Amino acid sequence: MNMPDPNAMATAWMSQFTNPWQSWLKLPEQSANPLSGMLKEAGVAIKPDALEALKADYMNKAHALWQDFIASRKPALPDRRFSSPEWQSNPLTAYHAASYLLNAEFLTALAEAVDAEPRQHQKIRFAVQQMVDAMSPANFLATNPEAQQKLIDTKGESLAKGMANMLADMQKGRISQSDESAFEVGRNVATTPGQVVFENDLFQLVQYDPVTPKVHERPLLIVPPCINKFYILDLQPENSVVRYAVEQGNTVLLMSWRNPDKSLGKTTWDDYVEHGAIKAIEVTRAISGKDKINTLGFCVGGTIVATALAVLAARGDQAASSVTLLTTLLDFSDNGVLDVFVDHAQVALREQQLGKGGLMPGRDLATTFSALRPNDLVWNYVQSNYLKGNEPPPFDLLYWNADSTNLPGPMFCWYLRNMYLENNLREAGKLSVAGHPVHLADIDAPAFLFGSKEDHIVPWTAAFESMSLLNPKKPKANKFVLGASGHIAGVINPASKGKRSYWVNDASGRSRPKTAGEWFDGATENKGSWWGEWAQFLADNGGKDIAAPKKPGNAEYTPIEPAPGRYVRVRAD
C-alpha cells in the first residue's frame, strides 16, 4: 500500500496557493472517497453496520453544525491550528474550519473501523492521518484568515517574503525549521571541551576534559545513534548530557560517527559493531587502563553497543561494568509508528536498491521522521514560513534535526530486515555478528534502561522488554526508569531545570514485574529529571574515586584535534 509523504505533499503544495476546501463539505459517501481507493488496494473493508453508524453520527453532527451556521452561532474549534481570533472573526471562516474538523473526525473514525490485521490497520490509520493533516484549511492562503490578514497589514510584503522563503527551501530540498545561520557546531552547539583521541574510517573518539578533581576510575563510553549527529547529547551547556556526566565525576568518551560518503557505501552492520563500538571499547579500556567500563547507548546506538557487548561476551570478554540504554529497542515486536514504513515489500525494495552498496540519503531519513509528526514538522512551517512570510526562529534542537546523516546501504538494509522486520536480535543465537552468535543474556553487567512515556519511535513498553533480555537470571541487576515526554525531550531533561517527571519501581523481592503494565502499576512518580537516578547508577558501578587525568589519551592514543572534531561537521547535503 502506497502511503502519502508529507514532504512530497508540501512540495506539491508549493505550486499553488489555493485549497479546494469545498470537497470537505460533501456528504460522507463522497468524503470517504480518499479512503475508498486505499481500502480497495489493501483488500480490506469496513463492516456495513459500523459504516452506517458512522454515517448517521456524521449526518447528525453536520446538521447541527449547519444549524449553528444559519443561526450565526460560532462553532467550537478545539484545535490549536485554529486558536487565533481571525478564525472566529468571520462566521464563514469558522464554519469552514469546523467543517474540516468534522470531516477529519469522520475519516479518522472510518480508518479506525477498518477490519484489518494490526500492521495493515496501522498503515491505513497513518495514511489517512497524513491526508487529513495535509488538507487543513490552515495550510492554504485562500482559506487561512491569519495569513490573509497579514497580507493586508503588510501590503503584500508577507507574500513576497513567503515566496522567497519557499524558493530558498526548494533550492535546499527541505523545509527550514530553524534559523540555521544562528548555530555552528563547535561554536555554540557541541561545545563541551575535549580532544579527539582516536579515529578510523567509521568514527572519531572524543575524550572530554574533567571538571572535578577526582573521577570514578571506570570511564563512561557513550555510543550515540549513527542515524543522527551525536550533539543531541551536547546541545547547549545547560542541557548537555555529556557535560552533566562530566560534572558528576565521570571520565567521558564519546563516539562521533562519520557521515558516510560513497567510500563507505559497502559498510555493513558487522563493521559498525566490530570497527565501531568494539574498537571504541578497546580504545577506552586502553586509555583508562581498566578492563571494565561503563557503557551508554542511545536509540540505535544502544542496539549497536548491546550487540557489541554480546559479541565480546561470546569471545569470553566481559567488557562492561554497566550498560545504560536510552530509548533503545532490543525487542522489535512493537516498532511504534515506524512500523508503517517496514514490511516485506519495502525491505525487499531497499535491499534491491542498496543491499550490495550505496547510501541511504540522510534527507530521506529526515523525511521519514518528519512524517511521524507532520503538523509539527511540516505544515506548521508551511503556514509560518510561506503563507505568513515569517523567518523561522533559532532553535538548537531543530538545527540538529536538520543536520541529517547518510547510512551505508548494506548496513541499513541488514538493520531493517534483521531488527525491524524479523526481530532476530531477541532470539538467542539467531543472529551472527562479527563471526559470533549473539546472546544478549550473556552480557554480565547491570543495566539501566530508560524509556520515554510519549515516545512514538521507541514505545516505552517496547523499551521495557529489554528487562527480560538482559540479566534474565538476576532479578535485581536491571533498573528501569520511565521519563515524561517523547523520544528526544524525554532524554534531554536537565536535572538543573526541575521540569517534567519520571517513574521508578524499586519494589524489593526476588522477582521483577513481567510486563510493562505490571511495572507501571507499582511505580512511583517523582518530579524533575531522571538524570540523578542515572548518575547514582554510574557512581555505583564506577569503582573507586581517583585523581582526574591530567591530559587526554595515553602514549598510544594521543590528541588529534579539539572536540567536537571534523566528522560531526560534515553535512549530508
Residues designated catalytic: 299
Residue 447 contacts residue 479 (beta carbons within 8 Å): yes
Question: Grid coordinates representing 298?
Answer: 542511545
CA separation for the pair 347, 357 (Å, rounded): 15
Bridge-based pairing of strands 194-199 and 252-257 is: unpaired
User: Among the residues of 511-560, which ranges form H helices?
Assistant: 516-521, 531-540
Can you give 62-115 as a three-state secondary structure string?
Answer: HHHHHHHHHCCCCCCCCCHHHCCHHHHHCHHHHHHHHHHHHHHHHHHHHHHHEE
DSSP code of residue 233: G
Element at 524 (helix H, strand E): strand 524-527
Cell of 440: 544478549
Taking the alpha carbons of 218, 483, 300, 234 in that order, is the dihedral positive or negative?
Answer: negative
The cell for 512 is 521483577
Percentages helix, strand, coil for the chain, rounded to the nearest 5?
50, 15, 40
Q: What is d(CA 447, CA 114) in angstroms, rounded to the nearest whole number?
A: 41
Which residue bears the cell 553535512?
A: 571
User: How far is 303 from 332, CA to CA, in rounded Å?
Assistant: 11
Q: What is the DSSP string of 305-333?
A: HHHHHHHHHHTT---EEEEEEES--SS-S
d(CA 486, CA 427): 28
Parallel, antiparallel or unpaired: strands 320-326 and 293-298 = parallel
Residue 8's alpha-carbon distances to 168, 309, 349, 378, 528, in angstroms, are 16, 40, 20, 10, 39
The one-letter amino acid code at 416 reads: L
For residue 525, what is its C-alpha cell? Answer: 512518580
Of 121, 239, 140, 133, whose CA–CA distance to 497 is shortest?
239
For residues 328, 336, 178, 237, the Cα torsion angle rounded to the nearest 10 degrees is -20
- Cα separation, 251 vs 283, in Å, equals 13
Asked if 333 and 459 touch (Cβ cutoff 8 Å), the reply is: no
Instruction: Give the three cell numbers for residue 243.
Output: 557535560
